[in-house]
Chain A
Amino acid sequence: MTATTAPRTKESRRPRRAVGVPRASLRRYDPAAPRRSWLFTVVTGIFLLYALFPLAYLLINATKTQQDFISTFGFAFGGHFALWDNIVQVFTYNNGMFTRWLLNTLLYVIIGGGGAVFLAVLAGYGLAKYRFPGRTAVFMTVMGAIAVPSAALAVPTFLMFARMGLTNTPLAVIIPSLVAPFGLYLMYIFASESVPTELLEAARMDGSSELRTFFQVSLPLLAPGIVTVSLFTATTTWNNYFLPLIMLKDQNWYPLIIGLNQWNQQAYIPGAEPVQNLVVTGSLITIVPLIVTFLFLQRYWQAGLSAGSVKE
């Protein structure tokens, strides 16, 4: 059963009318079948434009050659339609380094991001459903630690990893990305809302161990929350920039973002070849997997939600 609100909303304080008395408003608003409004859509659509028109910039400029990129207006097309050329060049430039970066990023997201979700789900559930000694301390410490500006923690983290010989390896990117405080907090809220303690008690009374209860009873209920957290964590890890920049020197281990950044730098270095058209095209290619994943997870998520609300 999905979460319900505590019965203290303004709704319940309003005097109830007797059932059967005809209401004019009943004909006007039916929550099960809301009337779609074009006016409303257009007004909300303004925000859509705001969100999307920079994307238009991306699409338009991915079709330009480098020459056109620096000489033409940002929202106009160049003389030569070079989208296909750009895409090919992105994958072949610098000995196909882009593909390597793509694979690296996948590695970091799946292992680092996946690990982060796993840890956050477990910990969020534990914080929500169990009262254990040190619970408040854990909360306070996690919130406190992430409040400290990341820039100042970067050097100590680097030194630590350097002393352990981990810098310039994939572990230097994966290990820090295993901690997702936001994911933890989200899971904590989800677990509090979606997993009724009664169900857990019932399972315990049936003799189920905590772990088994977790997997069989709680996990399915947490599914929508897990999907949301996975989405956010995947995106954060995919676009992770600051720490990998400090940890990695070998471009063979770069994630996409850092690689694209390096390509972008070439426009500002004497004698280097500016390839901003590849940066833009590469970014477009970078976003596509994210969008596809989002779409894919959307369907799963919607199914999970409707299943949840149908019950009772």
Chain B
Amino acid sequence: MRFSTMKRALAGITAVGVTLALAACGGGGTPASTPSAAAFDSNKEYSISVWTWEPTIQQDSEAVKEFEKQFPNVKVSVTNTGGAADEYTALSNALQAGTGLPDVAQIEYYALPQYAIGSNLADLTPFGAGSLEGQYTPGTWTAINQTTAKGAAGIYALPMDSGPMALFYNEETFQKAGIDTPPTTWDQFYEDAKKIHALGDNYYITSDSGNDAGYLTSIMWQLSPGAFKVDGQNVTVDFTDPNFAKFVEVWQKLIDEDLISTSITGWSDEWFKGLADGTLASLPTGAWMPANLLANSADASGNFRVAPMPSLDGSPVNAENGGSSLAVMAASPADNQVAAYKFLEFVSNGDGAKLRVQAGNFPSLQSTLDDPAFQSSTGDYAAPDLLKYFGNQEYNKVLAEGAGTVNTGWSYLPYQVAANSKFADTVGKAYNKSGTKLADGLSAWADAIVSYGNEQGYNVTKVG
């Protein structure tokens, strides 16, 4: 997305003017209440550093190489941070030390509020991010709009991908169990689970080992989007919404009756094996899953299909699960921020975005999701291996439709990363045969969230 020359000139003049004004007032290096943004100078040499674990934005990726071709005056240095946990550790450490920060960092949507609230991220509005509204899916756009503790609302990242949920299921196993169509409600999911487990002791409709806070929070997003309400310093936690409670009942039955596998951990070798040989018959997860299924559970090629997420009454309502954004660190020098935003724009919204989707990324741009070539995985977005994997189903069409039904009104906690680290100790207990009920585990998690938040200076109250 490019500025018209007129707009760019105007922005540039305003930016220079504001910068001068700030400098005259001794504004210093901290972000002032009116953020300023210098213009991008194609004759100037820039150098930016990027922290990411996403495979499509690595140093040798097409997207990065193309960016350096189109912007030869910007040198990009990408560090593969290995994964979310490692990167957040490094980021938090660097923020505390005040040095060693990158210019750009990949931050998952659920973790974004935690970094934004401390004014650690640069507001991208002065760079023109506001004009991008409407181009991204509603779910991702809401996620990148944040407010700092000091009350500065803004756009603190650009979406990198999205993860609207869907039900990936093994049609062969389903048919063997006598199920013709995938479940559209959670009650049906329970009934289907019984049929699948009847196939054999090691056959399960899905697995859940009780360590993934992301899954349950996504279900809350789907069924009770008001679970976390954040208003500046005030936070409420409510896990007792009746819709969500219905889901918890169903899930409790699945655990009690041994209809889901609680011993296979997600993303373990056993998990991939189970998906590959059909004993793990389905997977409710984010739209970014296909690339992983292809790489790690290749044996199931031809058997998998995609269906919309089950809901309480079968009507289409969805949530996001996972997905990341790219943010610019507030501590970066102004020049770096300018160049960094160019990079963000390119890989999120420009030619780079297309290259990334071709490399396996699931887009956050509405136009890509609506593109028939994308939905049929043909033409520019040809993906023959994946088409084969899903038995020639237009899997991206289903996933794109799912993106359109994502619930609005959801927000993560301003300390979600910390809250999630307490998940296994509370909710996890309901999964390890220690006698704890899921509802009680959730209540304990809510308590932990409340006490942690209050320690951190928030006013947190538990509802229900």
- Whether A and B are associated in the same complex: the answer reads yes
Q: A163: which of B55, B97, B299 is its contact (CB, 8 Å)?
A: B97
Known A162-B97, A165-B99: A262·B295 in contact at CB below 8 Å: no
Q: Is the CB of B55 within 8 A of A271?
A: yes
Residue of A nearest to B161 (CB): A270
**Tally of B interface residues using CB under 8 Å:** 38
A interface footprint on B74-99 (CB within 8 Å = 1, 0 otherwise): 00000111110010011001101111
Q: Is the CB of A249 within 8 A of B90?
A: yes
Known A71-B299, A168-B100, A246-B93: A269·B79 in contact at CB below 8 Å: no
Of the candidates A67, A261, A271, the one having the most CB atoms from chain B within 10 angstroms of its own CB is A271
Which residues does chain B contribute within 8 Å of A272, judged by CB atoms? 53, 55, 295
Q: What are 19 A-B contacts with C-beta separation under 8 Å? A: A70-B272, A70-B273, A70-B276, A70-B296, A95-B60, A162-B97, A167-B97, A167-B99, A246-B90, A249-B79, A250-B79, A262-B82, A265-B86, A267-B269, A269-B83, A270-B289, A270-B291, A272-B53, A274-B296
Is chain A's binding surface mostly helix, strand, loop or mixed? helix
Known A71-B273, A168-B100, A245-B86: A262·B55 in contact at CB below 8 Å: no
The docked-state distance in angstroms from the alpha carbon of A272 to that of B359 is 10
Interchain residue pairs A-B with the least CB separation, the first 8: A162-B97, A271-B291, A272-B55, A271-B360, A270-B288, A268-B267, A271-B55, A262-B82
List the count of A-B residue pairs having beta carbons below 8 Å apart. Answer: 84
Task: Kindly state whether residue A159 has any CB partner on chain B within 8 Å.
Answer: yes
Residue of B nearest to A158 (CB): B93
Task: Kindly state whether residue B361 has any CB partner on chain A within 8 Å.
Answer: yes
The docked-state distance in angstroms from the alpha carbon of A265 to that of B85 is 11
Q: How far is the CB of A79 from chain B (nearest CB, A)?
A: 13
Task: Kindly state whether residue A76 has any CB partner on chain B within 8 Å.
Answer: no
Task: Kindly state whether residue A293 has any CB partner on chain B within 8 Å.
Answer: no
Q: Is the CB of A249 within 8 A of B100?
A: yes
Within 8 A of A (CB), among B95-128: 96-100
Of the candidates A158, A262, A269, the one having the most CB atoms from chain B within 10 angstroms of its own CB is A269
Task: Kindly state whether residue A251 has any CB partner on chain B within 8 Å.
Answer: yes
Which residues does chain A contribute within 8 Å of B86, judged by CB atoms? 245, 265
Q: How far is the CB of A283 from chain B (nearest CB, A)?
A: 16
Q: How far is the CB of B105 from chain A (nearest CB, A)?
A: 11
The docked-state distance in angstroms from the alpha carbon of A243 to that of B198 is 49
Residue of A nearest to B266 (CB): A268
The docked-state distance in angstroms from the alpha carbon of A270 to that of B56 is 10
Which residues does chain B contribute within 8 Å of A162, judged by CB atoms? 93-94, 97-100
Q: A167: which of B51, B100, B295 is its contact (CB, 8 Å)?
A: B100
The docked-state distance in angstroms from the alpha carbon of A266 to that of B272 is 14
Within 8 A of B (CB), among A13-44: none
Q: How far is the CB of B274 from chain A (nearest CB, A)?
A: 11
Within 8 A of A (CB), among B183-215: none
Which residues does chain B contribute within 8 Å of A159, judged by CB atoms? 93, 96-97
The docked-state distance in angstroms from the alpha carbon of A245 to that of B82 is 11
The docked-state distance in angstroms from the alpha carbon of A271 to that of B292 is 6
Other A-B pairs beyond A95-B60, A265-B53, A271-B361, 4, CB < 8 Å: A71-B273, A71-B299, A249-B100, A262-B82
Task: Kindly state whether residue A138 has any CB partner on chain B within 8 Å.
Answer: no
A-side residues, CB < 8 A to B, are: 67, 70-71, 95, 155, 158-159, 162-163, 165, 167-168, 245-246, 249-251, 261-262, 265-274, 276
Q: B55: which of A71, A249, A250, A273 is its contact (CB, 8 Å)?
A: A273
Q: How far is the CB of B463 from chain A (nearest CB, A)?
A: 34
Of the candidates A165, A245, A261, A268, the one having the most CB atoms from chain B within 10 angstroms of its own CB is A268
Q: How far is the CB of B196 from chain A (nearest CB, A)?
A: 22
The docked-state distance in angstroms from the alpha carbon of A224 to that of B438 is 59
Which residues does chain B contribute within 8 Å of A95, judged by CB atoms? 60
Known A70-B272, A159-B96, A162-B99: A268·B83 in contact at CB below 8 Å: yes
Of the candidates A67, A70, A262, A276, the one having the most CB atoms from chain B within 10 angstroms of its own CB is A70
Within 8 A of A (CB), among B46-66: 51, 53-56, 60
Task: Kindly state whether residue B298 has any CB partner on chain A within 8 Å.
Answer: yes
Residue of B nearest to A167 (CB): B100
Q: Is the CB of A270 within 8 A of B79?
A: no
Residue of A nearest to B294 (CB): A271
Q: Is the CB of B100 within 8 A of A270?
A: no
Which residues does chain B contribute within 8 Å of A245, judged by CB atoms? 86
Q: Is the CB of B292 within 8 A of A270?
A: yes
The docked-state distance in angstroms from the alpha carbon of A251 to that of B82 is 10
Which residues does chain B contribute within 8 Å of A273, judged by CB atoms? 55, 295
Q: A249: which of B56, B81, B273, B361 is its contact (CB, 8 Å)?
A: B81
A interface footprint on B330-371 (CB within 8 Å = 1, 0 otherwise): 000000000000000000000000000001110000000000
Q: How far is the CB of B162 from chain A (nearest CB, A)?
A: 12
Q: Is the CB of A251 within 8 A of B80?
A: yes
The docked-state distance in angstroms from the alpha carbon of A238 to that of B299 is 37
Q: How far is the CB of A128 from chain B (nearest CB, A)?
A: 39
A interface footprint on B251-271 (CB within 8 Å = 1, 0 otherwise): 000000000000000010100
The docked-state distance in angstroms from the alpha carbon of A115 to that of B120 is 40
Q: B269: which of A70, A167, A246 is its contact (CB, 8 Å)?
A: A70
Within 8 A of A (CB), among B422-452: none
The docked-state distance in angstroms from the alpha carbon of A83 to that of B256 is 45
Q: Is the CB of B54 within 8 A of A265?
A: no
Residue of A nearest to B362 (CB): A270
The docked-state distance in angstroms from the alpha carbon of A155 to that of B96 is 10
Residue of A nearest to B288 (CB): A270
Of the candidates A95, A250, A270, the one having the most CB atoms from chain B within 10 angstroms of its own CB is A270
Which residues does chain B contribute within 8 Å of A269, judged by CB atoms? 53-55, 83
Which residues does chain B contribute within 8 Å of A249, judged by CB atoms? 51, 79, 81, 90, 100
Which residues does chain A contribute within 8 Å of B55, judged by CB atoms? 266, 269-273
Q: Is the CB of B295 within 8 A of A163?
A: no
Q: How far is the CB of B303 from chain A (nearest CB, A)?
A: 15
